[in-house]
Amino acid sequence: MGIIKTKELSKIGYKNDQARSLIINLVSRHCKHHSKAEIIQILTDILQHPETYSEDEIWGPLARIYLEKEEVCDFQSYALLQETGLLKIYGGKEIDQTAKKQMEIAMSLPISVQGALMPDAHTGFGLPIGGVLATKNAVIPYGVGVDIGCRMTLSIFEENEKFIQRFSFQIKEALKSFTHFGMEGSLPFEQSHPVLDSSYFQETDLLRKLHPKAIRQLGSSGGGNHFVEFGEIVLTENNITGLPPGKYLALLSHSGSRGLGANIAQHYTQIAMDKCKLPREAQHLAWLDLDSEWGQEYWLSMNLAGEYAQACHDRIHINLTKALGINPVYKTENHHNFAWKDRLPDGQEVIIHRKGATPAHEGEVGIIPGSMTTAAYLVTGNGLPESLYSASHGAGRAMSRQKAKESMTNSALKKLLSEAGVTLIGGSVEENPFAYKDIEMVMKAQESLVNIHGRFIPKIVRMNKE
């Protein structure tokens, strides 16, 4: 019998885990007298002409996996979608047409119920960044995004803004010693958190395989626009923290679930694309039915990635505050790349995907950052149903990383930082302030969605050196 391995199946074109498992089972049972070349020829034929084998006693179950009908998308213009109330766009004049087109495609899916586009929106993969989509009993891995559970965490301290002036050296040293940025690598000392003992890590082969990476990367941050920064926050009268109005020292962090989330996203997106046949322009919006085994696996894995992202922020804030000998008097946090079960005003249960959007139910606390030199805002939501209880997740990119790199020199960035009174550790011109929309304009476009309770200004910023 010709023994065939999963790597060989991938080369032929079988990237669906369900199909590969079925093939190995069928080959072991029915191909004892076939050579490997004969088996590969049969499998190649099935991929190319599944209809020929659909009723075959042996190969029919495999062929039928590749006979799934292409889902029909009911394409409508975003203008019509807005008129019908199915899609609400905030700050539309500053949102590029490609992002609007992506939202239009997302709204055409047969599982889609309602959508919203936040004022920081820009083009992404599948759902645009800043896109919010409610679906019926289905989850779209790329509607959540690659960095599952990417989130913000804010700690406020009793110390005032003068602490940064007095202890700037100690703060910079703490940021260098107790944070780590980049795709790989980890902190140089052991980290612990209850999430590492979660039984979820034993639920699937993928999660078991990713557990060592999760242990290694705990407490670290990714690249791109992820940051850890100290600054001052000015709290308003009657703010959500319960603290008196005024200026306070604050620590703000932005990052996600590291390699754990990225691998989960890639794995289940491929499964969704194998199982859910969509027109080419909608392929990255492939979904998993939540009643299916794959849908349940993704949902469990997504939630674990969210808990892990939170754990990374927990360690960042614990490590830094311990190093500096300060204790927070208020702390809050929120995801902005995630999917939640929720209900619309008519009682319909939906899955709300927020790919780069802040949850903003009535009274819900959130953090909306700007750039390395501009303000971040502590807010509470107003719970507007037409926004799917959401707000922007930041200022949003105004230009691609490549364009940002071409339009700003290192010396110009240094001058910009100096003028803003900001010290940058790491970072790159790709994340320069001009690469982002004006955060004040974004906040104005969503005045109906949130109430402002505090304005944070960064002073010492740590980012990845690209």
Domain ranges (residues) in the chain? 6-65, 151-257+305-330+358-463
Rounded to the nearest angstrom, the gap between the alpha carbon of residue 281 and the centroid of all alpha carbons in its chain is 21
For residues 341 and 388, the answer to whether their CB atoms sit within 8 Å is no
Q: With left for phi above 0 and alpha for psi between -120 and 50, is residue 349 left, alpha or beta?
A: beta
pLDDT computed for residue 274 by the predictor: 87
- One DSSP character per residue, 249-317 reads EEEEEEE--HHHHHHHHHHHHHHHHHHS---GGGGGG--EETTSHHHHHHHHHHHHHHHHHHHHHHHHH
Report, as an integer, the average pLDDT of 18-46: 85
249 pLDDT above the threshold of 90: yes
pLDDT computed for residue 1 by the predictor: 47
Read off the pLDDT of residues 320-340 as tens digits, 9 standing for 90 and up: 999 999 999 999 999 999 999
pLDDT computed for residue 82 by the predictor: 63
What span, in angstroms and rounded, lies between the C-alpha atoms of 124 and 106? 12
* Nearest in space to 132 (alpha carbons), one of 392, 363, 331, 325: 392
For residues 249 and 163, the answer to whether their CB atoms sit within 8 Å is yes
Report, as an integer, the average pLDDT of 443-459: 98
Q: Please give the structure tokens belonging to residue 305.
A: 């990635």
Q: Can you give 24-65 as a three-state secondary structure string?
A: HHHHHHHCCCCCHHHHHHHHHHHHHCHHHHCCCCCCHHHHHH
50 pLDDT above the threshold of 50: yes
2 pLDDT above the threshold of 60: no
Q: Domain 151-257+305-330+358-463's class?
A: alpha beta
What span, in angstroms and rounded, lies between the C-alpha atoms of 394 and 291? 33
pLDDT computed for residue 183 by the predictor: 81
Start-to-end CA distance of the chain, whole Å, equals 51
pLDDT computed for residue 66 by the predictor: 74
What span, in angstroms and rounded, lies between the C-alpha atoms of 222 and 98? 26
State which amino acid sits at residue 193.
H
For the chain, how long is the longest CA-to-CA vector?
Answer: 81
In this prediction, residue 77 has a pLDDT band, given cuts at 50, 70 and 90, of low
Residues 6+ apart with CB under 8 A from 27: 1, 2, 4, 34, 39
Read off the pLDDT of residues 255-272 as tens digits, 9 standing for 90 and up: 999 999 999 999 999 999
DSSP secondary structure letter of residue 378: E
393 pLDDT above the threshold of 90: yes
Read off the pLDDT of residues 191-206 as tens digits, 9 standing for 90 and up: 999 999 999 999 999 9
Q: Tell me the torsion sign for CA atoms 339, 343, 349, 350.
A: negative
Global pTM reads: 0.83
Read off the pLDDT of residues 279-315 as tens digits, 9 standing for 90 and up: 888 889 999 999 999 999 999 999 999 999 999 999 9
Strand boundaries in 100-215, DSSP class E: 112-122, 129-135, 138-139, 151-157
What span, in angstroms and rounded, lies between the C-alpha atoms of 437 and 412? 18
Least confident segment among 39-48, 122-131, 208-217, 306-315? 39-48
For residues 430 and 456, the answer to whether their CB atoms sit within 8 Å is no
Calculate the average pLDDT of the chain: 92
Report, as an integer, the average pLDDT of 119-135: 95
Can you state the angle between helices 17-30 and 258-275, rounded to 10 degrees? 70
* Nearest in space to 459 (alpha carbons), one of 331, 372, 395, 378: 372
- One DSSP character per residue, 311-331 reads HHHHHHHHHHHHHHT--EEEE
